[in-house]
Amino acid sequence: MLRLNRAPKPLQPWEGPKPQLPMTVTFQCRVHYLDLQVYLAKVYRMRDYDILKATGITHGLYPEYIVTGIMPPATNIGQQTDNIRRGRRSRDLGLILNVLCVDGFIPKGKYVIDTKAKAGPFVVYTALINEHQDPNHPECVAFKRRHQAPELQRRMKVLDKLVVEYKQQLEEQSR
């Protein structure tokens, strides 16, 4: 007779030495695409190179590239790598990363390209104000010293004034 409701046998604890899974541990880097664009402008003079536009990647994706430091076999690979070294743009980000590795700028490994939009400085400052509730907190003051753009300074002063006024209102209400 066939029993469909029978409970499965409980798992027995593993006895003896556990088998080893053959694997290779690899090096992994996470790089923000904007930082990579700045780096490419510095190293290979790729000014105004837009990684997202060149590769067709959109914000929020995290493409991964395996950088081996070995050029793939192709008939025109030498010309492509020379073009990259001369600052000509390429749609092949994996090839660009491999050229950087061959030239000794980056190590071999797995590279994850972070395409999430970075928070602007005002958003960062607003988060600092929310955290400390004081424009004179040392972290807030240091942030204002590091970011001297006139429009940003103006916006931070307005936010500071609002925070101070709000704190004064709270003090008056508590009296």
- Rounded Cα gap, residues 65 and 97, in angstroms: 8
| Domain residue ranges in the chain | 28-114, 121-174
- CA 24 to CA 120: how far, in whole Å? 39
The one-letter code for the residue type at 77 is I
Per-residue pLDDT tens digits for 116-135: 988 889 998 999 999 999 99
Residue 138 is given by DSSP the state H
Model pTM greater than 0.85?
no
48-66 confidence digits (pLDDT tens): 899 999 989 888 899 999 9
pLDDT band at 4 (very low <50, low <70, confident <90, very high): low
Residue 166 CA to residue 171 CA, distance in Å, equals 9
**In this model, does residue 10 exceed pLDDT 80?**
no
Residues pairing with 110 in the sheet: 28, 66
User: What is the rounded distance in angstroms from the CA atom of residue 2 to the CA atom of residue 36?
Assistant: 63
Residue 87 amino acid letter: G
Instruction: Note the pLDDT of residue 25.
Output: 75
Calculate mean pLDDT across residues 133-155. Answer: 92
